[in-house]
Amino acid sequence: MLEFFIGHYAYWLVIILLCVGIYGILFKKNLIKKTIGLAVLQISVVIYWVAIASKEGATVTTLDPNIPVDQVANYLNPLTHTLMLTAIVVGVATLGVAFTLLMAIYNRYETLDEQELLDKIQ
Amino acid sequence: MKALKISILVLFAAVLIYASADLPMRGDPDNLMHAEESITGTTVKGSYFIQNAYRDARTPNMVTVVLGDYRSIDTFGEQVVIYTAGLITLLVLRVTRNRRNDEE
Amino acid sequence: MRSKFDSPIVLLGSRLLAPYIMLFGWYVIIHGHYSPGGGFQGGALLAASVLLIRISGGRVISRLQIQEFATTPLAIVGVVLYFGTGLVAMIMGGNFLDYAYLPIPGMEADWLRYTGMLIIEVGIGLAVMAILIMIYDNMVKGEDHA
């Protein structure tokens, strides 16, 4: 039972973080808060990918001459780390685009509240 | 109404946590994604990168080798994406500011 | 950033810190082959050093460091450096971005891959730095009176 908990608690924390992000996206009325929820959801996915790359007793993905590279279990999985490395930077850039669009919306309609925005559009 | 929404979200979290019980143990070196050979007989990419990164490119940092050599076209795509994001900020904000100045 | 007050201490602290952050950014890019690091992280650090001056000092002082119109050409230089490396390898007979065909004499294929990766990391770093500064500049444009 304890082994099951140690093997799975990271997934539960990631799921809680994902639900916090979905709560922000669905239930908040302000568009800025929705965008922050989107960022939290994205970070939860990043943490999940980094969590599944771990191995028991392995070292970081930089080659150490004393540790043989033939046994794969000696090193963490570098593929997921690489994918998330690019995903973080692209996430920052897309967050910049999201806030840019919010600024454009505010310049035009002078509100960021969802309901007021729908009323002004119609 | 708000209690209904939140209860739906809690239900969603409960379903996900129930489903995560079938995921492999975190940190187990015998996971399928950490194996050297997949169940269909092909090479698992992560293990291939660990074994051959230094031999192919003389670089100790495997993440750099995967980022810059094995998956370099993917990285080029990511770079074009962030470049496009920068251009979008330039174009969108300039267009809206000009329209606003015209209205005034 | 509309500056409500002038604080010389904040400006002095930022001016003290910014060159070291920029130097550390270049270290992270160049030393990315041997330690955790690379183009994306180093580019973010370079952008942090420039944005620190922009936030604390305002528009007039930060213009002395990097002009606002210079960020778009820097990003283009970064992307073209990456694309040109791949294109040169393709012209010399290999696949796109196959660094083993780069025309550098006196190197084996593995050391050529080492050099090609260093070139594209610098390209990534320049592009990321320029894009992050560009996003900030476009967002505060017209409201920066400091």
Residue-wise pLDDT tens digits, A19-72:
999 999 999 999 999 999 999 999 999 999 999 988 888 888 888 889 888 888
Is A103's Cβ below 8 Å from some Cβ in B?
A: yes
Nearest CA in chain C to B92: C138
Report pLDDT for B99. Answer: 64
Of A92, A97, A103, A105, which to mutate for an interface test with C (greatest number of C Cβ within 10 Å)?
A92
Q: Three-state SS across chain B?
A: CHHHHHHHHHHHHHHHHHHHHHCCCCECCCCHHHCCECCCCCECHHHHHHHHHHHHHCCCEHHHHHHHHHCHHHHHHHHHHHHHHHHHHHHHHHHHHHHHHHHC
Which is higher by pLDDT, C142 or C18? C18
| Domain residue extents for chain B | 71-104
How many Å lie between the alpha carbon of C112 and the closest alpha carbon of chain B?
A: 8
| Domain residue extents for chain C | 8-140
How many Å lie between the alpha carbon of A51 and the closest alpha carbon of chain B?
A: 7
HSE-CB for A84 with a 13 A CA cutoff:
17
Confidence of residue C146 (pLDDT cuts 50, 70, 90): very low
Query: Do C114 and B82 lie within an 8 Å CB cutoff?
Result: no
Which is higher by pLDDT, B104 or A77? A77
Residue ranges of C 13-52 with Cβ closer than 8 A to chain A? 34-36, 38, 40-41, 43-44
Query: Do C111 and B83 lie within an 8 Å CB cutoff?
Result: no
Is B56's Cβ below 8 Å from some Cβ in C?
A: yes
How many Å lie between the alpha carbon of B20 and the closest alpha carbon of chain C?
A: 31
What residues in C contact B74, CB-CB < 8 Å? none
Residue ranges of C 36-75 with Cβ closer than 8 A to chain B? 36-38, 71-72, 75
Is C86's Cβ below 8 Å from some Cβ in B?
A: yes
Report pLDDT for C65. Answer: 84
Report the pLDDT averaged over residues C91-104.
89
Is A28's Cβ below 8 Å from some Cβ in B?
A: no
Residue C16 has pLDDT above 60, yes or no: yes
Q: Which of C83, C114, C135 sits opposite B89 (nearest CB)?
A: C135
Is A83's Cβ below 8 Å from some Cβ in C?
A: no
- In order of their start, the domains of chain A are 2-121 (1.10.287.3510)
DSSP string, C37-105: --HHHHHHHHHHHHHHHHHHH-HHHHTTTS-GGGHHHHHHHHHHHHHHHHHHHHHTTS-TT-GGG---T
Report pLDDT for C1. Answer: 47
- Ranking A7-16, B64-73, C1-10, C94-103 by mean pLDDT, the lowest is C1-10
Cα–Cα–Cα angle for A78, A81, A82, rounded to 5 degrees:
85
Calculate what percentage of chain A has a pLDDT beyond 70.
100
What residues in B contact A63, CB-CB < 8 Å? 53-54, 60-62
Residue B75 has pLDDT above 80, yes or no: yes
Q: Which of C34, C117, C127 sits opposite B68 (nearest CB)?
A: C117
Encode pLDDT of C59-91 as tens digits.
777 788 888 889 999 999 999 999 999 999 999
Nearest CA in chain A to C132: A93
Query: Do A7 and B27 lie within an 8 Å CB cutoff?
Result: yes
